Copies of this chain bind each other. A is one copy, B any other.
Amino acid sequence: MEYHPENVPEVDDLEELVLGGDEKALCNFLALLQPADMAVIFDRLPRDLWPKVVAPLNIAQISDLMEELPDHLRDDLAELLSPNQLTSAFEEMASDGAADVIADLPRPLAKKVLKALPAEDRREVETLLKYPEDTAGGLMQIELVSVLERATVDEAVEAIRANAEEAGDLHFVYVVDDDNRLVGSLSLEQLILARSDTSIGKLVDRDFHCVTTDVDQEEVARMFRRYDLVSLPVVGDQGTLLGRILHDDALDVLEEEVDEDILRMAGAEEPELVYTDQILKIAWVRMPWLISTLLGLTIPALLTRLFQITFPYMATLVPFVLVIGAMGGNIGTQSATIVVRGFATGRVDFDNLGRFLYKETIVSFIIGITCGIIAGAVAILWQDDAILGLTVAISMTAAIIISAILGVLVPYLFRLIKIDPAVAAGPTVTTINDIVAIGIYYLVALSIVA
């Protein structure tokens, strides 16, 4: 079957088949599904229909589905399986997938599954579980094909044959010395084209990328992106070959990081959570940002009230507080977003802070003057009040420039003190910029009026 983008099956088709009760048609439909599509469909399928859809699945399908499902749905699937089915499903998985799934299962269930696994699989999974989830060690799988430097092409082919079933996605063979230290890699293409008695040592590519187990997953993902890697070997402290990371796992990390960044910028933590049905928890993670914003906003509200009482004749100023505050917040968010995304993609870092800040200052100067003139003109046209116009124009310009500079500096500062800079483009910092902008407005107003 050819898989074009338009023939991805829909949840409605499955629902119809399940409710129709034709078991054979259901089996045929499921057999045609890619695991990734099945996972999407399961996510959308009403929970009470799950048992009927799971029943006809074979172990390989269950295993694939388990790996593809979002974390929060795996428990639900596990509950529908017999202990035997569950163990067999884990035996089918690659070591990294099995370790990831087991790490996310409820503790007692995880223990039970681990205990039921064959000794070798259990050892592999337990080894992987020791590495923190967000490091190269936590990402790698143990299944790979390695050959000795002094082996021949024929022997390498035999090694592939022996491991082909266990280690999927073989694009490279890793070459090691007698102490299992990594000396290079060899693509299957090179292997196919070489004569069968050639020594591997003559073919091996000794220019290679590798990471140690403790390298952060973001760094790993960045290497895949920068060097267009398909797989990346992971080594121990002495250079011993321990495992490999595949491109799809690196891609998942990239997506995860992007999720985190984007949602953090909106003040919603835990991207894994916000797309689930756990409404109370969702409200709970989104609330802190909103409440801290709310409390922060009482400062300009207080200032405004104070201003109203102290300078009653300047009541005309008050409506513009809104505009200046919001504009400060807006440009600050722009600058912070550009910096945060620049950090994530390597286009901005501590090396080029000076240049970036200089650029941002000029850009915000141009924007500030323009917006200042527009706002000042609106104020004069509307209220026929030159002092109001001047106050609005000057403070709008100043607020925009200062907010833009803060928008650059705050993410840098956050990164320096090891807080995720994405937080700096979030609502809390927008609020700080609101407050700063309003403060500037009142200061300018006071100095012009006084």
Interface residues of A in 187-245 (CB under 8 A from B): 187-189, 191-193, 206-212, 215, 219, 222-228, 230
Interface string of A143-155 (1 = CB under 8 A from B): 0000000000000
Q: Are A5 and B230 in contact (CB under 8 A)?
A: no
Q: Is A261 an interface residue (CB 8 A)?
A: yes
Q: Are A36 and B319 in contact (CB under 8 A)?
A: no
The interface residues of chain A, by DSSP majority, are classed as helix
* Chain A count of residues within 8 A CB distance of the other chain: 126
Which chain B residue has the least Cβ–Cβ distance from A224?
B251
Which chain B residue has the least Cβ–Cβ distance from A358?
B279
Which residues of chain B are near A322, meaning CB under 8 Å? 297, 300-301, 304, 321-322, 325, 434, 438
Complexed CA–CA distance, A399 and B298 (Å): 17
Q: Is A313 an interface residue (CB 8 A)?
A: no
Complexed CA–CA distance, A274 and B366 (Å): 15
Q: Are A189 and B207 in contact (CB under 8 A)?
A: no
Q: Is A410 an interface residue (CB 8 A)?
A: no
Q: Is A346 an interface residue (CB 8 A)?
A: yes
Which residues of chain B are near A348, meaning CB under 8 Å? 275
Chain B nearest CB, measured from A375 CB (Å): 6
User: Which of B189, B212, B345 has a CB less than 8 Å from the CB of A164?
Assistant: B189
Which residues of chain B are near A259, meaning CB under 8 Å? 341, 345
Interface string of A351-373 (1 = CB under 8 A from B): 11000000100110011001100
Complexed CA–CA distance, A362 and B281 (Å): 12
Which chain B residue has the least Cβ–Cβ distance from A257?
B258
Interface residues of A in 258-289 (CB under 8 A from B): 258-259, 261-263, 265-268, 271, 274-275, 277, 279-280, 282-283, 286-287, 289
